């Protein structure tokens, strides 16, 4: 909270450990600056070293992206075009995901910037729709995460995620209870690409950066992870990830199963 001196917590299954840190941002689909060749150890040309852990981003990696219908439905409530909704959604998202803004304040600010005065039920509808549109997990990716865990590889989720979505995930995703560490921005009051949130996740896993692979759909997040020594793969699709893992000689391949399939929660 603003003005609070309490150190944020890294969540490690049922116990918590303290870590510190500051700020960052979370635009809707901005890829950020690309890492250089020597920063990217998995690029189709280099092999991964022996790894002890894999860290997964959640949005657009473990879950499917919102559909055009999702975006259009929320945009209609605000009375704006879908592209403007995306821009407004992104404007204060860093503060919302970090826990600086409550649900009510975030959506009120979005509505004000759209030039709208919405009733409480409409604001709640926007908040509910936001959780739903980010709740369709990708069955292929979740199955691989669980296979990694079963093989003895440590697994973690590291995500910029607001409190309502965290609550929904913890209540509804059984697989989340089986990862070794879950680091969510609103819980630790840090946000990717701040270095401290990666260090927090590593501390929860009990591994060194060089022993860890991080999979994220945003290059700016990967660059920050690689800057502290974590190996990274830029996620674009399950098929491309499978190919990169095979090329890098990763010991537990991503199964050649259907992708883009929502997993029931």
Please state, in angstroms and rounded to a whole number, the distance separating the CA atoms of residues 133 and 164.
Answer: 13
Please give the pLDDT value at position 260: 54
Q: pLDDT higher for 224 or 249?
A: 224
Residue 42: is its pLDDT beyond 90? no
* N-to-C CA span, the chain: 31
The yes/no answer on whether domain 9-64+136-263 falls in CATH 3.40.50.1000 is: yes
- In terms of Cα–Cα distance, which of 222, 255, 196 is closest to 57? 222
Residue 52 token pair: 């002890």
CB 134 within 8 A of CB 33: no
Every domain of the chain and the residues it spans: 9-64+136-263, 68-133
Average pLDDT, the chain: 85
Please give the pLDDT value at position 66: 97
DSSP state for residue 63 in the 8-state scheme: B
Ranges of H-type helices in the chain = 68-78, 82-91, 93-98, 103-113, 120-133, 139-151, 163-172, 185-188, 195-205, 219-227, 238-247
């Amino acid at each position: 909270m603003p003005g609070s001196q309490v150190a944020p917590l890294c969540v490690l299954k049922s116990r918590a450990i303290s870590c510190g840190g500051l700020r960052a941002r979370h635009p809707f689909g901005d890829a950020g600056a690309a890492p250089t060749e020597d920063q990217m150890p998995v690029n189709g040309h280099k092999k991964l070293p022996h790894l002890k852990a894999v860290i997964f981003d959640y949005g657009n990696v473990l879950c499917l992206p919102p559909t055009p219908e999702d975006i259009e439905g929320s945009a209609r409530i605000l009375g704006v075009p879908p592209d403007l909704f995306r821009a407004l959604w992104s404007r204060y998202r860093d503060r919302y995901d970090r826990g600086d803004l409550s649900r009510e304040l975030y959506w009120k600010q979005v509505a004000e910037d759209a030039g709208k005065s919405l009733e409480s039920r409409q604001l709640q509808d926007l908040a509910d729709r936001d959780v739903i549109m980010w709740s369709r997990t990708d069955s292929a990716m979740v199955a691989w995460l669980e296979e990694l865990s079963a093989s003895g590889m440590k697994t973690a989720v590291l995500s910029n995620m607001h409190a309502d979505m965290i609550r929904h995930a913890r209540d509804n995703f059984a697989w989340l209870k089986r990862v070794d560490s879950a680091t969510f921005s609103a819980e630790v009051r840090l946000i990717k690409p701040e270095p401290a949130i990666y260090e927090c996740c590593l501390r929860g896993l009990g591994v060194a950066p060089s022993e860890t692979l991080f999979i994220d759909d945003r290059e700016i997040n990967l660059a920050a992870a690689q800057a502290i020594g974590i190996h990274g793969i830029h996620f674009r699709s399950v098929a491309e990830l499978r190919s990169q893992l095979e090329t890098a000689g990763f010991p537990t391949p991503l199964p050649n199963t259907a992708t883009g399939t929502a997993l029931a929660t």
